[in-house]
């Protein structure tokens, strides 16, 4: 419908679910892995005796943190990954069929990255975060855009977005920046895919993808400079 090949199944969705579950099982077996791959701007980690963070050239944390969830039984416990995977299974297959595998994966990964970048920009640099929520909110944003584009009833997804945003701001331990960043990124990228003109569609969609990625990189570089100037590095 929007330029991609119609997949026979929801392969990408189930691979993403499998990766998240696999990482969660690894966390149970080796909890310290969270210290190496969670989202953190700049901080000294006494557990590994190192200064870590995106500001210390560990850019991979922007994406790896989206495949980790709160380990153990403390805090939200297993509810964290259960909700995120439920949401992914709820909206992922339909979005994958409408967008095609490549575009769907691009929306998911860019949304995860967008959530981490906004968190990096506005949260305390020594406060860690993890979870697929940014990517999930990106899929919510994608679903809303496609519903509007296809003139479908969007009330259910609007309710889901508003409810989860309300929870994000009501619960202090939730990284609302990650949710907002993922939501905006997913909506913007999907809008570029859904409203691209039929002529040169792939070129417009690819260009929009690169522009969004470039803006996110600029955001990270800008934040790095701020932290260096303030002495966090």
Residue from 179, 200, 225, 230 carrying the catalytic annotation: 179
When pLDDT is averaged across residues 11-34 and rounded to a whole number, the result is 94
Instruction: For tokens 């979870």, name the residue.
Output: 131
Give me the pLDDT at residue 41, please.
93
> In angstroms, rounded to a whole number, what is the distance separating the alpha carbons of residues 108 and 148?
19
Q: Which two tokens stand for residue 77?
A: 């416990």
Is residue 98 exposed (0-12), middle (13-18) or buried (19+ Cβ within 10 Å)?
buried
Residue from 133, 156, 168, 200 carrying the catalytic annotation: 133
* pLDDT for 199 beyond 90: no
How many Å is the Cα radius of gyration of the chain?
18
> In angstroms, rounded to a whole number, what is the distance separating the alpha carbons of residues 157 and 155?
6
> In angstroms, rounded to a whole number, what is the distance separating the alpha carbons of residues 16 and 190?
19
Element holding 52 (H helix, E strand)? strand 50-52
Give me the pLDDT at residue 148, please.
93
Q: Which residues pair with 45 in a beta bridge?
A: 50
**Model's pTM, two decimal places?**
0.94
* pLDDT for 4 beyond 80: no
Is 133 labeled as catalytic in the residue annotation? yes
Is 179 labeled as catalytic in the residue annotation? yes
């Amino acid at each position: 419908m929007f330029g991609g090949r119609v997949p026979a199944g929801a392969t990408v969705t189930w691979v993403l679910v499998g990766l998240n579950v696999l990482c969660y099982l690894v966390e149970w077996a080796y909890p310290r892995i969270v210290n190496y791959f969670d989202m953190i701007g700049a901080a000294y980690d006494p557990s590994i005796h190192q200064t870590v963070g995106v500001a210390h050239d560990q850019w991979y944390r922007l994406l790896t943190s989206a495949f980790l969830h709160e380990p153990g039984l403390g805090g939200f416990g297993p509810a964290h990954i259960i909700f995120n995977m439920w949401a992914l299974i709820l909206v992922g297959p339909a979005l994958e069929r409408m967008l095609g595998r490549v575009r769907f994966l691009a929306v998911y990964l860019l949304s995860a990255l967008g959530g981490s970048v906004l968190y990096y920009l506005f949260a305390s640099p020594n406060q860690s975060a993890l979870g697929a929520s940014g990517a999930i909110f990106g899929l919510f944003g994608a679903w809303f855009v496609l519903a509007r584009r296809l003139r479908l009833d969007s009330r259910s997804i609007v309710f889901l977005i508003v409810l989860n945003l309300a929870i994000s701001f009501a619960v202090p331990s939730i990284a609302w920046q990650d949710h907002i960043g993922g939501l905006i990124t997913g909506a913007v990228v999907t809008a570029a895919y859904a409203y691209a003109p039929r002529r040169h569609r792939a070129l417009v969609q690819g260009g929009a993808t690169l522009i969004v990625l470039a803006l996110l990189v600029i955001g990270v570089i800008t934040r790095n400079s701020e932290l260096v100037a303030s002495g966090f590095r």
